[in-house]
Amino acid sequence: MEETDLTWHEPSVSREKRQQLMGHRGCVAWFTGLSGSGKSTVANLVDTRLHGQGIHSFLLDGDNVRHGLTASEQMLAGRGEDFASRFGLGFSPQDREENIRRVGAAAELFASAGIVTLVALVSPYRKDRAAVRQQICDQLGDGAFLEIFMDTPLATCEERDPKGLYKKARAGELERMTGIDDPYEPPEKPEIHLQGEGFSAQELADQVVAVLLEVAGRTAS
């Protein structure tokens, strides 16, 4: 089958009708930052707060999606070597790009159903984040994608090192560690800029929730 044989089938239930049923608009809130910056911690708090406000939300966490949607070759080994090598993802620039593309496509589907979709990925390269922003805004409209920069100094992330990744990278046991031997390109104009030092995770989550409630068309209760 050629790509030209594919046809987009417009759903009979529109995005507007789904959002009307939900009682709010869907969007994608994309948390980016170094490993250990606090992305997942804050995103989980945001998810909990939104749920408590009656907002339909879902979190696509970077570690969790790599257990399925963007699994590695090792995780897919049971499906055969050829399948695993074709579809498994590692941490090369090309694999990171595909990781973000897949997660972005999934996030777009969630948001089109009226769900406030939270994504927590390192997503180190500006061009990859820009591509997923373009894809989502083209489909869902301007304002449907919010980039949230978890701005935490590398030294603080290394001190936290919850998964021991920085220690392994410094010891030469881990390659392509963002911030050590692979670059992180910070957002230039994020919709939300969170300072990872000087504020509690709850205070940072409060900042995000206030914006997302406005985007979703709801007020705090």
Average pLDDT over residues 111-115: 94
Q: What is the pLDDT of residues 16-56, one digit of tens each?
A: 898 888 889 999 999 999 999 999 999 999 999 999 999 99
- Return left, alpha or beta for 7; rule: phi > 0 is left, psi -120 to 50 is alpha, else beta: beta
Q: Residue 62 domain-assigned?
A: yes
| pLDDT at residue 3 in the model | 61
Q: What is the pLDDT of residues 128-164, one digit of tens each?
A: 999 999 999 999 999 999 999 999 999 999 999 999 9
Q: Residue 3 domain-assigned?
A: no
Range of the domain at 157: 26-216
Distance from C-alpha of 127 to C-alpha of 141, rounded to nearest angstrom: 20
Average pLDDT over residues 74-90: 91
Identify whether 221 is a catalytic site residue: no
Radius of gyration of the chain measured on its C-alpha atoms: 18
Q: What's the total number of domains in the chain?
A: 1
**Residue 85: CATH number of its domain:** 3.40.50.300
Q: Residue 10 domain-assigned?
A: no
| pLDDT at residue 220 in the model | 52
Q: Residue 21 domain-assigned?
A: no
Residue 211 has pLDDT above 90, yes or no: yes
Q: Residue 41 domain-assigned?
A: yes
Per-residue burial over 54-85, b = 16 or more CB atoms within 10 Å of its CB, e = otherwise:
ebbbbbbbbeebbeeebbbbeebeeeeeeebe
Distance from C-alpha of 141 to C-alpha of 27, rounded to nearest angstrom: 10
Q: State both tokens at 212.
A: 């997302």
| pLDDT at residue 121 in the model | 97
Residue 1 has pLDDT above 80, yes or no: no
Distance from C-alpha of 60 to C-alpha of 102, rounded to nearest angstrom: 11
From 35, 92, 123, 221, active-site residue: 123
| pLDDT at residue 2 in the model | 60
Distance from C-alpha of 180 to C-alpha of 158, rounded to nearest angstrom: 10
Average pLDDT, the chain: 93
Residue 120 has pLDDT above 60, yes or no: yes
Q: Residue 6 domain-assigned?
A: no
Q: What is the pTM of this model?
A: 0.92
How many separate helices (H) and strands (E) can be counted in the chain? 9, 5
Residue carrying the six token digits 């410094």: 170
Beta bridge partners of 27: 116
Contacts of 132 (CB under 8 A, 6+ apart): 30, 100, 101, 103, 104, 107, 145
Give the DSSP H/E element, type plus range, for residue 116: strand 116-120
In a 13 Å sphere around the CA of 44, the CA atoms on its Cβ side amount to: 8
Q: Residue 181 domain-assigned?
A: yes
Residue 219 has pLDDT above 80, yes or no: no
Q: Residue 136 domain-assigned?
A: yes
Give the DSSP H/E element, type plus range, for residue 118: strand 116-120
